Amino acid sequence: MGPSIIVIGGNAAGMTAASRAKRIDPNLRILILEASRFISYSICGVPYYPSGEVAHHEELIAFTPEQLFEKRGLEARTRVKVEEILPGRRSLRCRELDSRREFYQNFDSLVVSTGYVPKRPEIAGAELSGVFTVSRLEHGISLREAVRRPGVGRAAVVGAGYIGVMMAQTLRRCGLEVSLFERGPQVSPHLDAECAEAVQEELRRNGVELHLKTRVRRLIGESGRLESIAAGDLTLGADLAIVDVGVRPNTELARASGIACGVTGAIEVDDRGQTSLPSVWSAGNCAQTRCLISGRPMVSSLGTTAAKQGRVVGENLAGIRTTYPGALETSIEQVFDLSVARTGLTLGQAGQAGFRADSVTVKAADRAAYWRGSAPLRVTLVFEKGSGRLLGGQIAGRQSAAKRIDTLATALAAGMDLSQLSQLELAYAPPLATLWDPINIAANAGLRRLAGR
């Protein structure tokens, strides 16, 4: 048998690393250790479970440990927490969470793919029953039970990032009254104002009560159960609250074991995924990477980047030398009938990264204007003044239209400028697109801005 690899964390990055390594080199012995009850599931699908849009939680699971062994030859153990990495001995001190039994597990190579954890809110009452965070399948299962409890009619969502916006929708789909509270001036801080405004319109149109620039002061309970929420000058009754004040890389274990972390708080890795300790690798939302546009250190919270980093680590574990180039943070969200997407840097992020940046936003038809069902698409392009180099983009439109963001993600990966974007030959047919694609139109608007016309 070949060398033994342990993977800590059984989702996007860890599972991809394990699968990829085993596929290339079937002699590798690979064991995945996962602290929760589930491995290999769609974390991004969890918000759709409480409302029943995904009927059974099993649908979210790609492989149980048994299936994983049978189909891919990978071993996995759930409810096992790694309590200490002993790098000198190439060993892990582990605990079975159900039996509380401690055991040691040796490795030749280790992959730390512990992902992220929700930040703890600094809000009194966050420990009350009825207050949830959503970052694991177990949370989705608990929340589905909670929304179906008799008498649950009013929900509060604290924080309007990816998870907060998604959960506000889910709770509306569950038939609840929903108030969404956000300290900042807009929802979705990963978007510039124009696209965030589109999200806000769509949330309001679907009955979400939006409280922007509003600080939640306190979650108020009785007998340990949530009763109301004090936010700004208001106190509102709430039977249920979801808190999303962001996530942070889950690095306690790594830090305690002497693995170096970077300026972002995430585990420092080279472009192959190697940490500061020999034979210890890391990938995913606990590992630091670079922004593909600015070259600056960053940490992603997306499953897509996690999987791509994991793939690179898996290839290197199997002896193929590949590298991960860096992240664009391309993402897409469905907000009721709207889709909204981003890639690269927002105008705000571009400024922070030291670029002399500008942006244009155009609103253009997603299909031929005369086509029934044609709807406006908003396209924002962020670009460097002078050079016209594309730095980022955002798209909002009906149904799946924002998936067109991939064109901008590809243009960013290629280092294109507005002139090149303007001449891209994009596909047209009246029921599906326009003769001049909104991306071409936005690029032309950007070129006029650059030329001062």
Active-site positions read 44
**Binding window for its own copies (CB under 8 A); candidates: 113-121, 220-228, 378-386, 423-431:** 423-431
- 112 near its own copies, rule: CB under 8 A: no
- 423 near its own copies, rule: CB under 8 A: yes
Touching its own copies, residues 201-240 (CB under 8 A): none
How many CB atoms neighbour CB 423 within 10 A? 11
Burial class (CB in 10 A: 0-12, 13-18, 19+), 359: buried
Contact (CB, 8 A) for 371 and 352: no
Which of 90, 136, 211, 404 touches its own copies (CB under 8 A)? Answer: 404
154 vs 367 by CB, closer to its own copies:
367
Residue 145 phi, psi dihedral angles, 5° rounding:
-65, -45
Minimum CB–partner distance for residue 59 and its own copies (Å): 4
DSSP 8-class letter at 404: G
Residue 248, C-beta contacts closer than 8 angstroms, at least 6 positions apart: 116, 117, 119, 265
Burial class (CB in 10 A: 0-12, 13-18, 19+), 336: middle
Do strands 208-211 and 4-8 pair parallel, antiparallel, or not at all (unpaired)? unpaired
2 vs 431 by CB, closer to its own copies:
431
Touching its own copies, residues 14-53 (CB under 8 A): 42, 44-45, 48, 53
**Burial readout 218-247 (b: 16 or more C-beta within 10 A, e: otherwise):** ebbbeeeebbbbbbeeeebebbbbbbbbeb
CA end-to-end span of the chain, whole Å? 68
Minimum CB–partner distance for residue 86 and its own copies (Å): 33
Which of 94, 174, 210, 416 touches its own copies (CB under 8 A)? Answer: 416
Number of amino acids touching its own copies (CB under 8 A): 64
Radius of gyration for the chain, computed over Cα atoms and rounded to the nearest angstrom = 23
Touching its own copies, residues 300-339 (CB under 8 A): 302-305, 307-308, 324-325, 327-334, 339
- Give me the sign of the Cα torsion angle 5, 62, 58, 44: positive
- 59 near its own copies, rule: CB under 8 A: yes
**How far is residue 136 from each of residues 49, 64, 333, measured CA to CA in Å?**
11, 16, 18
Which of 85, 267, 411, 418 touches its own copies (CB under 8 A)? Answer: 411
256 vs 435 by CB, closer to its own copies:
435
Minimum CB–partner distance for residue 292 and its own copies (Å): 8
Touching its own copies, residues 364-403 (CB under 8 A): 368, 370-372, 399-403
Contact residues for its own copies, defined by CB under 8 A: 12, 42, 44-45, 48, 53-54, 59-60, 292, 302-305, 307-308, 324-325, 327-334, 339, 341, 343, 368, 370-372, 399-407, 409-411, 413-414, 416, 420, 423-433, 435-437, 439
